[in-house]
Amino acid sequence: MNIIRRHLSTTTLSTDTLHPLLANIYAARGIKSHAELETGLAHLLPYTALKNIHPCVAHLYDALVKQQHFMIIGDFDADGATSTALAVTALKSFGAKKVSYLVPNRFKHGYGLTPEIVDVASAQNPDVIITVDNGISSVEGTAHAKQLGITVIITDHHLPPKILPNADVIVNPNQLDDIFPSKNMAGVGVIFYIMLAFRSHLRAVHWFESNHLPEPNMADLLDLVALGTVADVVPLDHNNRILVQQGLKRIRVHQCRPGIQALLQIANRPNHRVVSNDLGFAIAPRLNAAGRLEDMSLGIACLLSEHLTEALPMVQHLDNLNQERRHIENEMQQQAVAALSRLQLSQDLPMGICLYDPSWHQGVIGIVASRIKEQVHRPVIAFAASNEQEIKGSARSIPGLHIKDVLNAIATQHPELIQKFGGHAMAAGLSLRLENYPAFSAAFEQEVARHLSPDDLTQKTLSDGELSDMEITLEIAQLLRDAGPWGQHFSAPLFDNHFYLTHQHIIGGKHLKMSLSLTPDGPTIDAIAFFVDVEKWPNHRAEKIHAAYRLDVNEYQGKKKVQLLVEDWVIV
């Protein structure tokens, strides 16, 4: 365990209004003023800075006046599902009578607005295709749709390629000359902003009054925005924290759609206690399971359901799929670990790792890549067969390595290797011919080695320091829980202390329950470590440990108690 204490930035945060511990935690995350902690909707960035927002609204308004057929084409993950549900809900509330959606099947159509999915869409005669959470790389699919006379509006947040699709309009804050300050919005955030701008235009032209429609409250969509934003693991900059916090506030008081309510129920997450972590680790995996194993249309239908009784059977199906996904993932991960062991026997572990097994499930390789990356702290690409000639890969990176830039460099140096690719700094997808896998693996290893040093491959645990026994309290735990939302690039507080280990036992077959104390005879503190190696723990020779942990509130039968969530530890 390599623990590094966070450095405090210069801050003007006042401890008159903030607990000193919390002020230090915020400062360590770069917060310099109280204004950066405001999460009211009035502090959202204005939509006017988004490139093409006004031409986009003009296209939408023209189609709405003519009551044309809008078709939303989304992605097959939770961001895509929430984006699709938001677009459908908003357009219908604006008075659009013909709104449909279509999600590419991961196994049949591939990712994005492909020519194949355009052909499927064209059978329903759409006038306007709106992509959400995809499309920025869909040059061929966009051209095909335009040939068929379909208006194409691309809304996306992924990094753009050098050649953009010839769409009627593109809204993506990551376009090179877009001045919108936040480049971190998820796809659901982008379509929310577009619908916010569209509603503003409709209000200005008295659309709702003229058509005897109630003016929709856009804040009612923030439960979807919060879920999609957290699920896509985008950095929680100030603007994203506002979107997530406002969505969480509504979920906590049951102002959320029945599909989200049903997902919370099956995950056993009470509304009043929901935090961003629950969205990311309890709700999103169940929603994502549909896109990984079957069809994300099920997840979208769940989010669009109008009654809890309608949503609950769909959520039960999603939960069953998620259990199946876990089983598949466990088998694949064991195979990946075995492959790593064989690799280490023949050579030192390379800086960049590629893994492929013809039996692997295409929908689960992203999770496997993530798990192996966490284990070896190296960028990892896991591949599965797409057909007899093609394989698809899912890449996960570590801090300090922009994975899409790596793929772009390989594509430039070896244009014959990669068929297509796209993604973010930390995650990407690609496809290549099976015969090119060995050459690509070598090129990936070489390119990664150009950017990383051995020190980069040492996993570092960033700690906010030690806590005293006066700080390990239920009050402090609740304070920190409420001080979020925490997430990517705005991580929840993590502390480290030396503890005496007074009791340990396994619960649930794989989790280590512990009692810890700061002094030999001091009061004990409940602690738990999830998914431990049961062949090594319990270890009754261990009397003292150095642990990195988070403070948490454990609530059972109405009683609250402080609990430590131990993330890493060593025997001392």
Q: Which of 214, 229, 253 lies at the terminal end of a domain, its last residue?
A: 253
pLDDT tens sequence across 488-534: 999 999 999 999 999 999 999 989 999 999 999 899 999 999 989 89
- Kindly state whether residues 205 and 114 are assigned to the same domain: yes
Average pLDDT over residues 315-339: 94
> CB–CB of 113/134 below 8 Å?
yes
pLDDT tens sequence across 429-446: 999 999 999 999 999 999
Q: Which of 440, 457, 474 lies at the terminal end of a domain, its last residue?
A: 457
Q: Which of 457, 485, 504 lies at the terminal end of a domain, its last residue?
A: 457
Count the alpha carbons within 13 Å of 276 in the hemisphere toward its beta carbon.
Answer: 30
Q: What pLDDT does residue 334 have?
A: 92
CATH number for 548: 2.40.50.460
Average pLDDT taken over every residue of the chain: 94
State percent of the chain over pLDDT 90. 84
CATH number for 422: 3.10.310.30
Q: Pick from 518, 512, 520, 514: which is nearest to 495 by CA?
A: 518
> Cβ neighbours of residue 188 under 8 Å, at least 6 residues apart?
79, 82, 83, 86, 132, 133, 224, 225, 227, 228, 229, 232
φ/ψ of 46, rounded to 5, equals: -70, 145
CATH number for 222: 3.90.1640.30
Q: What pLDDT does residue 11 have?
A: 63
Q: What pLDDT does residue 3 have?
A: 87
347 backbone φψ class: left, alpha, beta (φ>0; ψ -120 to 50): beta
Average pLDDT over residues 313-330: 95
Domain count, the chain: 3
- Kindly state whether residues 450 and 476 are assigned to the same domain: no
DSSP three-state, residue 391: strand
Residue 341's pLDDT band, with cuts at 50, 70 and 90, is confident
Integer Rg of the chain from CA: 24
φ/ψ of 289, rounded to 5, equals: -60, -35
What residue type is assigned to position 110 of the chain? G
Average pLDDT over residues 457-482: 93
Residue 59 is assigned to a structural domain of this protein: yes
206 backbone φψ class: left, alpha, beta (φ>0; ψ -120 to 50): left
- Kindly state whether residues 359 and 237 are assigned to the same domain: no
Give the whole-angstrom CA distance, residue 336 versus residue 382.
9
DSSP three-state, residue 278: helix
Residue 314 is assigned to a structural domain of this protein: no
Q: Which residue has the tokens 């078709």?
A: 71
Residue 346's pLDDT band, with cuts at 50, 70 and 90, is low
> Could you tell me whether strands 128-132 and 151-155 are parallel, antiparallel, or unpaired per DSSP bridges?
parallel
Residue 172's pLDDT band, with cuts at 50, 70 and 90, is very high
Residue 537's domain comprises 461-571
Q: Is 189 exposed, middle or buried (0-12, 13-18, 19+ CB in 10 A)?
A: buried
Residue 410 is assigned to a structural domain of this protein: yes
Residue 266 is assigned to a structural domain of this protein: no
Average pLDDT over residues 148-154: 98
Residue 73 is assigned to a structural domain of this protein: yes
Residue 9's pLDDT band, with cuts at 50, 70 and 90, is low
- Kindly state whether residues 93 and 176 are assigned to the same domain: yes
Q: What pLDDT does residue 345 have?
A: 67
Statement: residue 157 has pLDDT above 90: yes
Six-digit token string for 144: 């095909």
pLDDT tens sequence across 199-214: 999 999 999 999 999 9
Q: Which of 273-277, 278-282, 458-462 has the lowest mean pLDDT?
A: 458-462
